[in-house]
Amino acid sequence: MRKQRTLCSPIKASGIGLHTGRKVEIELNPAKENSGIVFYREDKDVEIQLSEKSVVDTQLATTIGKDGVVIKTVEHLLSTLFALRIDNIFIKLKGDEIPIMDGSSAPWVYLIKTAGIVEQEAYKKTIIVKKPVKIKENGKFAALIPSNQFEISYSISFSNTFIGKQRMDLPINENTFIKEISKARTFGFLKDIEYLQSHNLALGGSLDNAVVVDEYGIVNEDPLRYEDEFVRHKILDAIGDLSILGLDMKGKYIAYKSGHNLNNKLLRKLISDKSAYEIAINPTREKKAESLAWGCV
């Protein structure tokens, strides 16, 4: 059985918002058990408690909000918190977007390891998928089906591009996330950049925080971090989107060309059908070797 966890100490960082292009300061703070993940906009004095209902926009990123106050591009940080099992945390920021860092979750992994992780007394709740829940739109597909662990099977297809077709199947735990997923960067196509920026999107995007693809390959001087980095980043995004519930998950997520919008619709469909899931106080006993923990010193 797993107990809840939080940080040992606060840690600060700053960076550029991928879509706004503005500098953002952020502080990750320990929080008491059962408090969950809470975001606080210091510049607006508004707290946003993470839940599936807090998602207000899914255009090219996951945005949460409350009373008209928003925080954009939360998925990379949330993916890291879920995989490293940080259950209770108070996140303060000055600005409306989480810093993109290098476009992956690797900097967040480093920061959390630096802050340290401590186990708390309360147990973590798990959502257990009891029957398949599926959603399909415009040739895209996402589903959650029963499984004795949390795992992901993801396929992408960008025909007539350098990316082509990629697929990855992976059980998700701390080790697999850090080794196989965390370093995968966000990506985009050179031909789309002008359009996106004309619509106030990707204003902070650069070769330092994204893999840019043209008709011949990648524009970046640095090589890909994984041969199939693109599908790995889609898995990173999906983990963040599914973590919105604030629960551990026991089920298999299957996707074809899914994105933030479809992921959120899938979660809402799951929660709306009480026969499709149950919530338990972490019934899964896991092997010690599969868990990484950094104690406070």
Catalytic (active-site) positions: 260
Task: List residues bridging with 172 in a β-sheet.
Answer: none
- By the 8 A CB rule, do 253 and 143 touch? yes
Burial of 289 (0-12, 13-18, 19+ CB in 10 A): exposed
- Tokens 């949390």: give the residue: 150
Q: What is the bridge-based pairing of β-strands 23-30 and 248-256?
A: unpaired
Centroid of chain to Cα 96: 17
